[in-house]
Homo-oligomer: A and B are copies of this chain.
Amino acid sequence: MTARGRQRRNSDAIHQKPWKQLRNPFTPAKLISDDEVEAIHQASLQVLETVGVKCAVPEAQSLLAKAGAKLDASTGLIKLGREVVEAALQTVAPALEITPRNPAHVVRLHGPYLATAAVLGPPACKDLIRGRRTGTIDDFRELMKLTQFFNAVQMNGFPVEPQDIAVPIRHLHAARAMLELTDKVPYVFAQSPQRIRDVVTMCALARGETVEQFSQHPGVYSIINTNTPLVFDVPMTTGIMEMARVGQPTLLTPFIIAGASTPATLAGAIVLNNAEILFGLTLAQLVRPGAPMIYGAAVTAADMRTGAPAYGLPDMQRGTIISGQMARRYNMPLRASNFSSSNVPDFASGMESSNSVFAGMMAGNNFLMHAAGWLEGGLCSGYEKFVLDCELLQSMMHTLEPVEVSANSLAIDEIAEIGPGGHFFGSQRTLDTVETAFYRPMISLTQNHGAWSEAGGKDAAQRAVPIWQNALKEYQAPPLDPAIKEALDEFVAKRSEQGGAPLM
């Protein structure tokens, strides 16, 4: 076969952009003035100082009281003075790198850097071939393979809940699958300190380290959703503390639904989001000064027709941009999300997801959560949506790339050579760079209507089916030292025998 023939054949393969640490060249956008940022900061401090936060965890209560907070022991209400918060803001780590077992897949989450993670948390999954179903460990393993296969997904999420595994040992089996089938940054649920300890031990084993060594540089992340307004429940509070203790980053994301869990104003929603983040980071800094944290922006408004959060709609995008302004006020990394409300990957899904991803990019987000696979407002993982989101992520990645402006790329000589009325299809540069000069989509098509109809008239979701099918076929497990694999298996067996760990 000729080189040209091979090239043609390869063009049927899945076209991915290579793995790359992303860097956002845009100055972060502003929707409010710096004075207004300060007003939100001050309002948040006032809420913490005068309204307070309810938290039922004695260890947290005593740590905060010792630092100067006022505790009402009978109700668990903690009023937090601004001096305690301001001190905590001095120690929170501004820079954050997370290193998984494959150090080539390290991600930076600070300054202009950006990384993406797969969808996290759905109880169900679906695809156009096998339909909608409750998640199993087999589904989980498949979605791990897609996470590993697609370069646009840079970190793990928790793409479906493997509900066929008993709850006390589910975290062990899921973590093993994640650490074996992927070598990207793993995720741990903050469901109890014991579960965090189990998974952190496994992440340390996967990096060939002790937990003590692992605690010295981040290798896993977790998320805390506070119970807005102003309640820190037991699993979340103990989760923050346990993650801080082992030096691992926590994403602080209050559950903001403006008009439901917060006042029906964007500013009021941001005040509560910000106040609860400040409370969480203060607690973490008291446990371990310097503990890495990420500022969560998942500010949605309620859809007043259903009471549900309006994921992917424009109030959320405004909330993301303002949250970016707050995160920069605190010199903290920003989390945004590829959110959408749609039940299927249709026009609304594409619009909501794209608007969310662009808003995150404009906001200067460092971490894009739920970047691939989110459907049904987060209640279902979609296989086709996973692929379609990878196209969206690749589009964003391409948009972020530097533009070469040089004598070579300005191409005055080439323009003179071709001259008025000519064309550039045959120019040497076009021939040489046909595969690489511009973005090459996986899903988007420029076929005209006739050719497209003759080829079956498939919409984007239908065209995504063979892509996830091929990705599962082409998937290659990342190398894993057999001794590490054995250690992970032994740990899972031992902890299972001990009964695993319950939810809190």
Interchain nearest-CB distance for A9 vs B (Å)? 13
Q: Is B26 within 8 A of A362, CB to CB? A: yes
Q: Is B410 within 8 A of A267, CB to CB? A: yes
Proximity bits, A339-360, B CB within 8 Å = 1, else 0: 0011111111111111100110
Complex Cα spacing A414 to B388, Å: 42
Interface size on A, residues (CB 8 A): 131
Question: For A420, what are the chain B residues with a Cβ–Cβ distance below 8 Å?
Answer: 51-54, 77, 229-231
Q: Is B354 within 8 A of A350, CB to CB? A: yes
Asked whether A39 is an interface residue with its Cβ less than 8 Å from the other chain, the reply is: yes
Question: For A433, what are the chain B residues with a Cβ–Cβ distance below 8 Å?
Answer: 264
Contact of A313 among B409, B439, B453 (CB under 8 A): B439
Interchain nearest-CB distance for A307 vs B (Å)? 7
Q: Is B229 within 8 A of A437, CB to CB? A: no
Looking across the interface, which residue of chain B has its beta carbon closest to that of A275? B415
Question: For A345, what are the chain B residues with a Cβ–Cβ distance below 8 Å?
Answer: 347
Q: Is B51 within 8 A of A416, CB to CB? A: yes
Asked whether A167 is an interface residue with its Cβ less than 8 Å from the other chain, the reply is: no
Looking across the interface, which residue of chain B has its beta carbon closest to that of A432? B264
Asked whether A499 is an interface residue with its Cβ less than 8 Å from the other chain, the reply is: no
Q: Is A399 within 8 A of B318, CB to CB? A: yes
Complex Cα spacing A439 to B317, Å: 11
Question: For A414, what are the chain B residues with a Cβ–Cβ distance below 8 Å?
Answer: 263, 268
Question: For A216, what are the chain B residues with a Cβ–Cβ distance below 8 Å?
Answer: none
| Stretch from A111-119, A198-206, A442-450 that touches the partner | A442-450
Q: Is A460 within 8 A of B306, CB to CB? A: no
Number of copies: 2
Asked whether A50 is an interface residue with its Cβ less than 8 Å from the other chain, the reply is: yes
Proximity bits, A248-272, B CB within 8 Å = 1, else 0: 0000000000111111111110011
Q: Is A380 within 8 A of B425, CB to CB? A: no
Looking across the interface, which residue of chain B has its beta carbon closest to that of A268? B411
Asked whether A312 is an interface residue with its Cβ less than 8 Å from the other chain, the reply is: yes
Interface residues in A206-225 by Cβ distance below 8 A to B read: none
Interface residues in A280-323 by Cβ distance below 8 A to B read: 301-315, 317-318, 322
Given contacts A303-B438, A306-B446, A355-B358, 14 further A-B contacts (CB under 8 A): A26-B31, A46-B412, A51-B415, A258-B437, A259-B424, A265-B409, A265-B429, A267-B409, A268-B415, A310-B444, A314-B399, A343-B448, A347-B443, A377-B448
Asked whether A405 is an interface residue with its Cβ less than 8 Å from the other chain, the reply is: yes
Complex Cα spacing A313 to B354, Å: 12
Complex Cα spacing A30 to B377, Å: 33
**A229-B421, A268-B410 known; A322 vs B403 contact (CB < 8 Å):** yes
Looking across the interface, which residue of chain B has its beta carbon closest to that of A380? B449
Residue of A260, A307, A346, A376 most packed against chain B (CB within 10 A): A346
Complex Cα spacing A359 to B404, Å: 19
Question: For A230, what are the chain B residues with a Cβ–Cβ distance below 8 Å?
Answer: 415, 419-421
Asked whether A25 is an interface residue with its Cβ less than 8 Å from the other chain, the reply is: yes
Complex Cα spacing A423 to B306, Å: 15
Contact of A446 among B11, B39, B308, B429 (CB under 8 A): B308
Q: Is A395 within 8 A of B313, CB to CB? A: yes
Looking across the interface, which residue of chain B has its beta carbon closest to that of A355? B354
Residue of A265, A408, A446 most packed against chain B (CB within 10 A): A446
Interface residues in A1-40 by Cβ distance below 8 A to B read: 11, 25-27, 29-32, 36, 39-40
Asked whether A461 is an interface residue with its Cβ less than 8 Å from the other chain, the reply is: yes
Complex Cα spacing A8 to B452, Å: 43
**A419-B229, A420-B54 known; A448 vs B405 contact (CB < 8 Å):** no
**A346-B347, A354-B351 known; A410 vs B39 contact (CB < 8 Å):** yes
Q: Is B268 within 8 A of A434, CB to CB? A: no
Question: For A77, what are the chain B residues with a Cβ–Cβ distance below 8 Å?
Answer: 420
Contact of A459 among B265, B344, B392 (CB under 8 A): B344
Question: For A447, what are the chain B residues with a Cβ–Cβ distance below 8 Å?
Answer: 306, 308, 343
Complex Cα spacing A303 to B445, Å: 9
Q: Is A424 within 8 A of B40, CB to CB? A: no
Residue of A51, A268, A347, A410 most packed against chain B (CB within 10 A): A347
